[in-house]
Amino acid sequence: MTLIEKLNNEDRFAQSIGVRLTDIREGYARAELTVEERHLNGAGVCQGGALFTLADLAFAAVANARGLITLGISNTITFVRSAQLGDRLTAECTEAADHQRLPYCDIRITNQDGAVIACMTGLAYRLNKEFGFDRLM
Amino acid sequence: MTLIEKLNNEDRFAQSIGVRLTDIREGYARAELTVEERHLNGAGVCQGGALFTLADLAFAAVANARGLITLGISNTITFVRSAQLGDRLTAECTEAADHQRLPYCDIRITNQDGAVIACMTGLAYRLNKEFGFDRLM
Amino acid sequence: MTLIEKLNNEDRFAQSIGVRLTDIREGYARAELTVEERHLNGAGVCQGGALFTLADLAFAAVANARGLITLGISNTITFVRSAQLGDRLTAECTEAADHQRLPYCDIRITNQDGAVIACMTGLAYRLNKEFGFDRLM
Amino acid sequence: MTLIEKLNNEDRFAQSIGVRLTDIREGYARAELTVEERHLNGAGVCQGGALFTLADLAFAAVANARGLITLGISNTITFVRSAQLGDRLTAECTEAADHQRLPYCDIRITNQDGAVIACMTGLAYRLNKEFGFDRLM
């Protein structure tokens, strides 16, 4: 099983809310979400937690891609523009600094028009313990 | 309808994943979540997005409590300890700095034993527009 | 030499800009700065970097107080109110979550009237290496 | 007077610690600092506050370049690698999301070998008030 399959199958929370990984390469991953009624908050726009989960799945894919278990320890997310019902959102994560123990990533969420919805940074902590997947892709 | 009812009913995302507001007072709110199978990530612990949503609902309640629509603009969340299947989690939000336009809050998630699971800070932006609820409580 | 003396003497940057530690106890530290002409930015208020350094010295004192070298890895600082020429600023740091490897702290800067100027959070990484000071106080 | 001259002359704190703006273009700015003895912390490496100030000056230049006064409201900085005595550091800031009211920037500090020292994000708040400089460059 590849990491992309593993994360899509085993991350039950991401799966249950409709977030899917759609690409993963060395130092890069992409996840997608289409905004449905169930993702809306009290103001009628996509809830921040759904956006966070979308960004976080792309982050987890990049952070874990080296085969060692890597835990997310801190994220800063800034909400630039509301995401509306029906928007097709994409989160793209790139590794900004490949620190052996504390990898640091940038994640950006855009909508179907390329407008930036949210920007996130993620810092992770890499354990000396192997992740159970056979190969990256 | 009170704000607590409004947020519990109208925040469809929080509702759909099982997060509930359970207390709201001036400058304070509490939300709760019990970790179920559907909240787990690929490592078998509670996904960061579920924790974020829990903290965010408490934050939204405090930020909006003055009757003006207030948008979350930036959050930093640090994951201190994993939350396990069955854990009963509580997020408590307090207003750390009551800036008229840019309120700033601290949110802490603890488990049933009082151990800290995650710490979040939240910065919001208050619009000059009224929120549709009758009274705070 | 105590940690408070060590940090005040050896942190040449903090010393050169006029920041001083004035208290340190288990899980708590306080640093002080009086805003002078040399601390002002182009808008005529205290520069964010001077505020950051003030908060950071209190953070370093708390993070290192257990006798193991501890490196600051990430900080989020939010500027709530401008600090003016002549203001006497105090930064107080408390340990919000005592994680063995990744301690997490809250730091708050207030002025002489108790008004909040800035709020910072700090995440550090503790090495398995002793710090060269004899005792905490 | 151009903005680059203005910021270099008028930001007394940045000037007093040896930080200089060296380039500014639409949506981009660069600042530089050479690490001297006076910038070191108790561990003998460049203090985080000096790095923050370096990044912050580049951020201020980008955020203010549209001619309206823009206040930094929140920054997250992650320290990836220590900067040593004698290192020639460069901070480059780019505007990641050009929100009219709340511009959001990425700032990266690298050393003379191109190694990443620190990554910062910055969120600002733009007032409806003009900044006193004649033209951008």
Taking only the tens of pLDDT, chain D with its 137 residues reads 777 887 799 899 999 999 999 999 989 999 999 999 999 998 899 999 999 999 999 999 998 877 777 889 999 999 999 999 999 999 999 998 777 778 899 999 999 999 999 999 999 988 776 655 433 33
Residue type, C59: F
What DSSP string runs through A66-92?
Answer: TSEEEEEEEEEEEE-SPPPTT-EEEEE
Which pLDDT does position C101 carry in this prediction? Answer: 78
* Residue C18 region by backbone torsions, left for phi larger than 0, else alpha for psi between -120 and 50, else beta: left
What proportion of chain C, given as a percentage, has pLDDT over 70? Answer: 91
Q: What's the mean pLDDT in C118-133? A: 79
pLDDT at B132 over 80: no
Contacts of C41 in chain D (CB under 8 A): 10-14, 60
C119 to chain D, any CB pair closer than 8 A? The answer is: no
Q: What is the pLDDT of residue C131?
A: 53
Q: What is the mean pLDDT of residues B94-111?
A: 88
Name which of B51, B104, B125, B126 to mutate to probe chain C: the one with the most chain C Cβ atoms within 10 A of its Cβ: B104
Lowest mean pLDDT among A98-107, B117-126, C80-89: A98-107
Question: Which pLDDT score, from 0 to 100, does residue B130 have?
Answer: 61
CA-to-CA separations, C48 to B24, C63, C83, C119, in angstroms, rounded: 34, 22, 9, 12
* Contact of C106 with B106, CB cutoff 8 Å: yes
Closest Cα of chain D to C53: distance in Å? Answer: 4
To the nearest whole angstrom, how far is the Cα of C57 from the nearest Cα of chain A?
A: 21
For residue C67, what pLDDT band results from cuts at 50, 70 and 90?
confident
Q: What is the mean pLDDT of residues C31-38?
A: 98
Find chain B residues with C-beta within 8 A of C106's C-beta: 106
Q: Nearest 5°: phi and psi at A74?
A: -155, 140
Between A30 and B7, whose confidence is greater?
Answer: A30
- A52: contact with B, CB 8 A cutoff: yes
Q: DSSP of A118-136, one letter per residue?
A: EEEEEEEEEEEEE-S-S--
pLDDT at C133 over 60: no
Q: Is A76 on the interface with C (CB under 8 A)?
A: yes
| pLDDT score recorded for residue A5 | 83
CB contact under 8 A, D76 and B73: no
Predicted pLDDT of residue C71:
85
Residue C109 structure tokens:
């800067």
D127 touches chain C (CB under 8 A): no
pLDDT at C114: 95
Residue D107 corresponds to which tokens in the numbers above?
């700032």
E strand or H helix that includes residue A109: strand A104-110
Q: What is the mean pLDDT of residues A80-93?
A: 97
Q: Which chains touch A (3 or more CB pairs under 8 A)?
A: B, C, D
Residues of C in contact with B123 (CB under 8 A): 78
Q: What is the pLDDT at residue B26?
A: 87
Confidence of residue B137 (pLDDT cuts 50, 70, 90): very low
Flag whether pLDDT at A19 surpasses 50.
yes
Cβ distance B76 to D73 less than 8 Å, yes or no, reads: no
Contact A97 D116 (CB under 8 A): yes
Q: Does domain B3-130 have CATH number 3.10.129.10?
A: yes
Least Cα distance to B107 among B67, B66, B69, B53 occurs for: B53
Q: Closest partner residue to D99 among A80, A96, A97, by Cβ?
A: A80
CA–CA dist B70, B75 (Å, integer): 14
Residue A126: the pLDDT is 83
Predicted TM-score (pTM) of this structure: 0.90
Using alpha carbons, select from B75, B71, B74, B62 the residue that is nearest to residue B128.
B71
Residue ranges covered by each domain of chain A? 3-129
ipTM score? 0.92
What share of chain A has pLDDT > 70, as a percent?
Answer: 91
| Residue A26 Cα distances to A64, B106, C15, C61, D7, angstroms | 10, 36, 44, 39, 40
Q: What is the structure's pLDDT at D137?
A: 31
Average pLDDT of the segment spanning C6-27: 92
- What's the average model confidence in pLDDT over B90-96? 95
Residue with tokens 């040593």: D84
Residue from D7, D15, D47 whose CB has the most chain C CBs within 10 Å, to mutate: D47
The band of B86, judged by pLDDT with boundaries at 50, 70 and 90, is very high
- The model's confidence at residue B131, banded by pLDDT at 50, 70 and 90, is low
C81 part of contact set with chain D, CB < 8 Å:
no
Task: With beta carbons less than 8 A apart as the criterion, state whether D13 and C40 touch.
Answer: yes
Q: Is B127 helix (H, G, I), strand (E, B) or coil?
A: strand
> pLDDT at residue B136 above 50?
no
Q: Under an 8 A CB cutoff, do A123 and C74 touch?
A: yes
Mean per-residue pLDDT of chain A: 89
C106 touches C94 (CB < 8 A) = yes
Question: Does CATH number 3.10.129.10 belong to domain A3-129?
Answer: yes
Q: How far is D125 from chain B (nearest CA, A)?
A: 10
Do the Cβ atoms of B74 and D125 come within 8 Å? no
Cβ-Cβ contacts under 8 Å between A and D: the total is 39
Task: Please list every residue in chain C whose beta carbon sits closer than 8 Å to the beta carbon of residue B122.
Answer: none
Terminal C-alpha separation, chain A:
9
Region label for B96, one of left (φ > 0), alpha (ψ between -120 and 50) or beta (otherwise): alpha
Tell me if A48 and B76 make a contact (CB, 8 A cut-off): no
Q: What's the token pair of residue D10?
A: 């008028």
